[in-house]
């Protein structure tokens, strides 16, 4: 099932963004952007796991850390574009929405998808990340020396 579409470097970015989106978010943004096109399943949504690996000492030899849940699917639009999704968690609806956006990004709807779905997801993810980083920054220790006991 190798894709025939050009492997745009952007595609990695948008698929990654949708994989990490909060539950239900991609579907909500997609439905707000345009009516869903019809499609045919190439691979109906399937829940499975991925073994996550780490490295000994952070940089050494890989080891198996444990699994995470993943839902994947693939579909094709009547015009032939193929959409894939691998999303974190067990939501088949989220996988379907992500695969539809992936397919629509290869059509004339690219600008609508970019503006109404992906940019919003990106902004929300950035806001969330910034908020946590700012809370962390507020707990950063500012050491100062009170007395030096050299005498």
Partner 1 sequence: MYVAVKGGERAIENAHAWLAEERRGDISVAELSVAQIREQLGLAVNRVMAEGSLYDPDLAALAIKQARGDLIEAIFLIRAYRTTLPRFGASAPVDTGDMACDRRISATFKDLPGGQVLGPTFDYTHRLLDFKLAAEGETPDAPRRDAEPGPVPHVTDFLNREGLIEEALHDDTTPPDLTREPLEMPADRALRLQALTRADEGFTLSMAYSTQRGYARNHAFVGELRIGTVPVEMEIPELGFAIEIGEITLTECETVNQFKGSETEPPQFTRGYGLVFGQTERKAISMALVDRALRWEELGEDNVGAPAQDAEFVLYHADNIQATGFLEHIKLPHYVDFQSELELVRKLRREVEASQEQHREAAE
Q: Does 10 bind partner 1 (CB under 8 A)?
A: no
H-only helix segments in 63-118: 92-104, 110-113
Give me 62's structure tokens.
Answer: 């890989």
* Residue 144 to residue 16: CA distance in whole angstroms: 42
Task: State phi, psi for 122 to the nearest 5 degrees.
Answer: -60, -45
Residue 3 binds partner 1, judged by CB under 8 A: yes
148 counts as binding partner 1 under rule CB under 8 A? no
Applying CB under 8 A, the span of 16-24, 29-37, 104-112, 113-121 interacting with partner 1 comes to 16-24
Does residue 146 belong to the site contacting partner 1 (CB under 8 A)? no
Tell me if 72 sits within 8 A of 45, measured CB to CB. yes
**Under 8 Å between Cβ of 56 and 77:** no
Residue 133 near partner 1 by CB under 8 A: yes
Residue 68 engages partner 1 in binding (rule: CB under 8 A):
yes
Contact between 44 and partner 1 (CB under 8 A)?
A: no
Q: Is 36 in the site for partner 1 (CB under 8 A)?
A: no
Q: What is the DSSP letter of 60?
A: S
Which residues lie near partner 1 (CB under 8 A)?
1-3, 7, 11-12, 15-16, 19-20, 46-70, 72, 74, 84, 86-90, 129-141, 143
């Amino acid at each position: 099932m190798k894709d025939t579409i050009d492997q745009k470097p952007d595609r990695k970015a948008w698929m990654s963004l949708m994989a990490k989106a909060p539950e239900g978010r991609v579907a909500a943004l997609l439905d707000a952007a345009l009516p869903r096109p019809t499609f045919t399943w190439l691979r109906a949504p399937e829940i499975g796991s991925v073994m996550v690996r780490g490295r000994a000492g952070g940089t050494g030899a890989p080891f198996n850390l444990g699994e995470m849940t993943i839902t994947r699917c693939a579909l094709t639009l009547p015009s032939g574009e193929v959409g894939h999704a691998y999303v974190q968690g067990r939501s088949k609806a989220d996988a379907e929405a992500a695969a539809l956006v992936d397919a629509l990004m290869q059509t004339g709807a690219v600008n609508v998808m970019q503006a109404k779905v992906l940019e919003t997801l990106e902004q929300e993810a950035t806001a969330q990340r910034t908020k946590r980083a700012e809370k962390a920054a507020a707990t950063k220790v500012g050491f100062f020396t009170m007395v030096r006991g050299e005498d």
